[in-house]
C-alpha cells in the first residue's frame, strides 16, 4: 500500500497495490471491501515464492543476506560498516552514508524518530503521525542512531498503535518540545559533536507539519485482523491511517503482509 500527502493539506492519499491492480482506497471509504489472501507470498526483493515472510516481506535467504534486513537498520547505532562486516557495503554507502533527519512526531503522543531525508514526509504518514517536526540533520544513519539513543532517555521511540488508530491523540507544541529537549540534552549532543565533528549534527529550523488521514469514524475498540489467521479480511472501509485499513469489523496493518498475494472484491 502506498501513501502520499494529500493535496493542499487534505487527507493523505492511499493506493492499494496488488499485482497489476492500483486501487484508490480513498474512493472506497464507506463502501464494502474484501481482501482475500490467496495463500501465495512472494519475496519483495527477489520475487521467489516463500512459505513465510521474514522482516515484513522477504524470503529467508534474502532476510539473511541483505543489508536492509540486518539488525543495524533498526538499531543504526550498531552499524558495523567500519568493522568491514557490512553485508553489502555498496548498498550501505548508498543508503546509510546519506543525510538523515532526526524528527519529533506525534502519533500516539510525543516520539522521536529518524529517517533518510528523502523519506520525509512518507515516513510520518506510515506511522500515522498527526504532527511532525524535523529537528536535526546528520551525515549518516549511524549518527542518527546515536542521536536517537540520546533522545530515548526523554522520549518514546514507539507508537502505541491502538491509541493512534482510536485517534485519541491531543495536539502538541512540537517547537516547545524541541527547544526543551535540545536544552536538556545539550551535553549529550556536544559529546557526539566532539566525536563526529563540530558540524556533524546540525540543528534545523523548520516549521511543524500537520498530517491528516481519510477517516470516517475511528474505532472505539481495536480488533486486529490477520491474513495468516483469516484469509478473507474486510467489511465497510471506515478509515485509512498509518499502514492500517480500518474496517467496521477490525483493522489490518498491511505493511506486515507485504508480499502477500491478495484478490480484491
User: What is the binding site for Zn ion (CB under 5 A)?
Assistant: 43, 45-46, 48, 59, 62
* Shortest Å distance, C-beta 88 to Zn ion: 14
Which of 30, 17, 39 has its CA nearest to residue 230? 39
* Shortest Å distance, C-beta 257 to Zn ion: 16
Which of 25, 101, 99, 87 has its CA nearest to residue 58? 87
Tell me the C-alpha to C-alpha distance, in Å, between residue 199 and each of 116, 128, 148, 192, 193.
18, 32, 17, 10, 7
65/116 with CB nearer Zn ion = 65
* Shortest Å distance, C-beta 51 to Zn ion: 12
Tell me how far the alpha carbon of residue 95 is from its chain's centroid.
16
52/229 with CB nearer Zn ion = 52
* Shortest Å distance, C-beta 258 to Zn ion: 12
- Per 3-state DSSP, the chain is made up of helix, strand and coil in percentages (nearest 5) of 30, 30, 40
65/95 with CB nearer Zn ion = 65
Helix (H, G, I), strand (E, B) or coil at 238: strand
62/125 with CB nearer Zn ion = 62
146/260 with CB nearer Zn ion = 260
CB–CB of 78/67 below 8 Å?
Answer: no
22/64 with CB nearer Zn ion = 64
46/216 with CB nearer Zn ion = 46
Three cell numbers written together for 236: 465497510
* Shortest Å distance, C-beta 46 to Zn ion: 3
Which of 32, 56, 16 has its CA nearest to residue 233? 32
Residue 160 burial (10 A CB sphere; 0-12, 13-18, 19+): middle
CA distance 11 to 81: 40
* Shortest Å distance, C-beta 259 to Zn ion: 9
* Shortest Å distance, C-beta 95 to Zn ion: 18
Tell me how far the alpha carbon of residue 257 is from its chain's centroid.
14
Amino acid at each position: 500500500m502506498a501513501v502520499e500527502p494529500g493535496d493542499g493539506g487534505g487527507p493523505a492519499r492511499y493506493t492499494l497495490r496488488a499485482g497489476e491492480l492500483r486501487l484508490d482506497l480513498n474512493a472506497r471509504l464507506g463502501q464494502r471491501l474484501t481482501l482475500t489472501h490467496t495463500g501465495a507470498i512472494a519475496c519483495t526483493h527477489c520475487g521467489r515464492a516463500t512459505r513465510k515472510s521474514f522482516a515484513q516481506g522477504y524470503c529467508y535467504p534474502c532476510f539473511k543476506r541483505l543489508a536492509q534486513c540486518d539488525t543495524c537498520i533498526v538499531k543504526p547505532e550498531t552499524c558495523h560498516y567500519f568493522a568491514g562486516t557490512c553485508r553489502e557495503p555498496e548498498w550501505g554507502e548508498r543508503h546509510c552514508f546519506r543525510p538523515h533527519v532526526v524528527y519529533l512526531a506525534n502519533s500516539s503522543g510525543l516520539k522521536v524518530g529518524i529517517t533518510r531525508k528523502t523519506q520525509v514526509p512518507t515516513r510520518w504518514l506510515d506511522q500515522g503521525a498527526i504532527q511532525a517536526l524535523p529537528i536535526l540533520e546528520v551525515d549518516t544513519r549511524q549518527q542518527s542512531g546515536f542521536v536517537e539513543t540520546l533522545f530515548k532517555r526523554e522520549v518514546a521511540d514507539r507508537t502505541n498503535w491502538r491509541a493512534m488508530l482510536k485517534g485519541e491523540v491531543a495536539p502538541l507544541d512540537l517547537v516547545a518540545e524541541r527547544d526543551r529537549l535540545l536544552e536538556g540534552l545539550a551535553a549529550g549532543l556536544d559529546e557526539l559533536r566532539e566525536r563526529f565533528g563540530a558540524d556533524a549534527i546540525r540543528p534545523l529550523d523548520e516549521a511543524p507539519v500537520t498530517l491528516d488521514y481519510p477517516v470516517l469514524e475511528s474505532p472505539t475498540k481495536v480488533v486486529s485482523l490477520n491474513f495468516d489467521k483469516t484469509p478473507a479480511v474486510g467489511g465497510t472501509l471506515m478509515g485509512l491511517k498509518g499502514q492500517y485499513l480500518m474496517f467496521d469489523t477490525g483493522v489490518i496493518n498491511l505493511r506486515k503482509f507485504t508480499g502477500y498475494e491478495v484478490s480484491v472484491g
